[in-house]
Amino acid sequence: MLLLSLLFVACDKDPQNSECIDIEREDITDSVTLDVVQSNTDFSFAMLQQLKDSQENIFFSPYSISSALGMVQMGAEGQTETEMSSILGVFDTELDWHKGQGNLLQELQLGDNCDYQFTVANRVFMQDGFPIQDDYLANLAEFYQSDASILDFAADSEGARKQINTWVSENTNEKIPELFPVGTITPDTAFVLTNAVYLNAPWTQEFDPQDTLPAEFLLADGSTTQVEMMNQSEMSLSISHQEGVTIAQIPYKGEDLSLVIVLPEDPTSLDTLIADLDAEMWNTWKADLYPTEANVGMPKFEMRYKRTLNDDLINMGMPSAFVDADFSAIGPGLFIDMVIHEAWIKVSEEGTEAAAATGVSLANESASMVDYLYLDRPFFFAIEDDRSGSILFVGKLTDPSKL
């Protein structure tokens, strides 16, 4: 597994656009915003630790996920609010945390940067006629710059799904074309919150494609696989050699943005390393980095990762958001039906392009009188004699392709 942690910062102009202007960004010094960054960092590694055993390659945007969940948390009450606040690192003074998220979003949306492109967009889609609290919508607009769109999930859930996916696609440069698959938006859906991010960042020193050569990549089980390895001599970067691990920070053009790589000496130790990782360790590693020039070999790759996060978030400690939820600050009878995330990244000689989107759909216990049955996963069935109650046949369908 190759662990890549992208430190995203922002603009909303094409780096090649002649109308862009140079921006001299300064470090964030506001204490509330810095505390929010710290809580987001802790969430990043908690989510990574939750996902690390799920499959070999992982790529996700913790900023996208925490932004989407933050918008939902702002409408939570009672036990639901307590659980979500714990996972996200929300302050005791909850409003300050959301203000800090808003400050961070404003910082990321400076725009007009000639060096790189980064965009963030939030949007709420709600059922026509559903009684959403006005104060909640006002806070979404103030802190998360979230516009609201009215859809009719009850009458045309498939049409609503397509409209949401179109919005996500447009705000990820078409890199996330279908966040919500067929069947995931239903007539019972009452409320969907979405976050979309897009990044296009050239390297400060681009790799020469002529120096990209086939090479072996060592796997955790001791075997090897072939990769296209980009190579560059005397590349300017920052590096630190800790016990058993090397940390490197490679700048993107403009040096507001960087790629941080954590490379364990033992290829079998990455999961153990991830299990111990937290914001304090991360900050210590970064503090020990020193500038240097190094010969760099980096795989050229493209990766897509998609996952429904319901079970992961329940395991992390917020079960009540899905069952017995209290989102009364949003509207009556709501519970989280699905949290879905998709991320894509391409690392090449020119730089890095990446996109991610998170969607949170909330259903209503009595939003629709239309029943819904979608058999898209293994299921059990029985044939019964209704007169006697006798079960005559029993079956379990787990893989229709093997019938």
Q: Is residue 207 part of a domain?
A: yes
Encode pLDDT of 313-348 as tens digits: 999 999 999 988 999 999 999 999 999 999 998 989
Give the mean pLDDT of 48-58.
77
Q: Is residue 169 a part of any domain in this protein?
A: yes
**Which pLDDT tens digit goes with each residue over 181-226?**
999 999 999 999 999 989 898 999 999 999 999 988 888 888 888 8
**Does residue 86 sit within a domain?**
yes
pLDDT on residue 385: 55
Task: Report pLDDT for 53.
Answer: 67
Q: What is the pLDDT at residue 254?
A: 85
| φ/ψ (deg, to 5) at 375 | -85, 75
pLDDT tens digits for 102-141?
A: 998 988 776 557 888 888 999 999 999 999 999 999 999 9
> For 46-71, what is the mean pLDDT?
86
For 54-83, give one letter per residue: b (16+ CB within 10 A) or e. eeeebbbbbbbbbbbbbbbbbbbeeebbeb
Q: Is the pLDDT of residue 55 over 60?
A: no
Global pTM value: 0.86
The predicted-structure confidence for 270-293, as pLDDT tens digits, reads as follows: 888 888 888 888 889 889 989 999
48: number of Cβ within 10 Å:
17
The answer to the question of residue 186 being in a domain is yes
Which amino acid makes up residue 317?
Answer: G
Name the residue among 250, 277, 246, 279 with its Cα closest to residue 264. 246
pLDDT at 173: 95
**For residue 338, what are its two tokens?**
């699905």
Q: What pLDDT digit, counting tens, does each position of 61-95 carry?
A: 999 999 999 999 999 999 999 999 999 999 999 99
More confident call, 266 vs 110: 266
pLDDT in tens, 359-393: 999 998 754 433 434 454 565 555 555 554 544 55
Compare 50 and 4 and report the one with higher pLDDT.
50
Per-residue model confidence (pLDDT) at position 112: 55
Q: Which residues pair with 260 in a beta bridge?
A: 5, 249
Instruction: Calculate what percentage of the chain has a pLDDT beyond 90.
Output: 49
Q: Structural domain of residue 301, as residue ranges?
A: 1-375
Q: How far is CA 261 from the centre of its chain?
A: 19
Count of CB atoms situated within 10 Å of the CB of 101: 26
Assigned domain for 173 exists: yes
Give the range with max mean pLDDT: 96-100, 229-233, 293-297, 298-302: 96-100
Residue 399 lies in a domain: no
Q: What is the pLDDT of residue 70?
A: 97
- Per residue in 149-186, pLDDT (tens digit) is 999 999 999 999 999 999 999 999 999 999 999 999 99
Considering its fold, how many domains does the chain have in total?
1
Task: Judge whether 174 lies within some domain.
Answer: yes
**290-308 and 117-127: which strand pairing?**
unpaired
Q: Classify strands 117-127 and 147-151 as parallel, antiparallel or unpaired.
A: parallel
CA distance 92 to 312: 24
CA-based nearest residue to 152, from 198, 118, 124, 189: 189
Q: Residue 350 maps to which CATH number?
A: 3.30.497.10
Residue 114's pLDDT is 80
Angle formed by the axes of helices 279-287 and 31-51, nearest 10°: 110
Residue 391 lies inside a defined structural domain of this protein: no
